[in-house]
């Protein structure tokens, strides 16, 4: 028995678009290269929020290295005491919302005919 028991008819290849030669170019194209210092870049940032003695303390730091320049921004500040509680509540709501989209299909729903 051969490896290909069914024989397919041979077909000729027909081009879909007419093949036309490209026009010749005598113009030299100039390609600009980037500055060799700019091939590496990174960004690092953090924000720290804490609550102490009824006040919300915020500390933030951002470091950026791009185009051969290192830039650092930092600040500290205080907010009303309720701001911390609002941030925690919003973070929890967002976490529950994202987890529910993952786990909702696997949570069994109560059937209405079990009453």
H, E, C per residue of 15-65: CCCCCCCCCCCCCCCCCCCCCHHHHCCEEEEEEEEEEECCEEEEEEEEEEE
Residue 74 lies in a domain: yes
Residue 111 lies in a domain: no
Residue 91 lies in a domain: yes
3-state secondary structure (DSSP) of residue 87: helix
| 57-105 per-position pLDDT tens digit | 999 999 998 877 899 999 999 988 788 889 899 999 998 888 877 766 6
Domain count, the chain: 1
Which domain CATH number covers 60? 2.20.25
Residue 54 lies in a domain: yes
Return the closest-CA partner of residue 40 out of 7, 75, 65: 65
Residue 33 lies in a domain: no
pLDDT at 44: 94
Answer for the pair 56, 84: CB distance below 8 angstroms, yes or no.
yes
Decide which of 115 and 44 is more confident: 44
| 11-64 per-position pLDDT tens digit | 776 666 666 666 666 656 666 666 655 567 889 999 998 888 888 999 999 999
* Mean pLDDT of the region 104-108: 64
Residue 105 lies in a domain: no
Residue 86 lies in a domain: yes
Structural domain including 93 reads: 40-98
The total of other beta-carbon atoms located within 10 Å of residue 84's CB is: 19
Residue 51 lies in a domain: yes
């Amino acid at each position: 028995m051969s490896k290909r028991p069914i024989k397919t008819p041979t077909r000729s290849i027909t081009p879909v678009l007419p093949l036309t030669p490209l026009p010749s170019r005598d113009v030299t194209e100039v390609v600009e290269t980037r500055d060799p210092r700019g091939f590496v870049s990174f960004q690092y940032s953090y924000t720290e929020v804490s609550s102490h003695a009824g006040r919300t303390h915020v500390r933030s730091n951002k470091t950026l290295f791009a185009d051969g320049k290192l830039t650092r921004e930092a600040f500290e500040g205080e907010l009303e005491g309720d701001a911390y509680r609002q941030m925690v509540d919003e973070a929890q709501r967002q976490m529950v919302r994202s987890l529910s989209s993952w786990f909702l299909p696997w949570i069994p729903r109560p059937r209405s005919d079990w009453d």
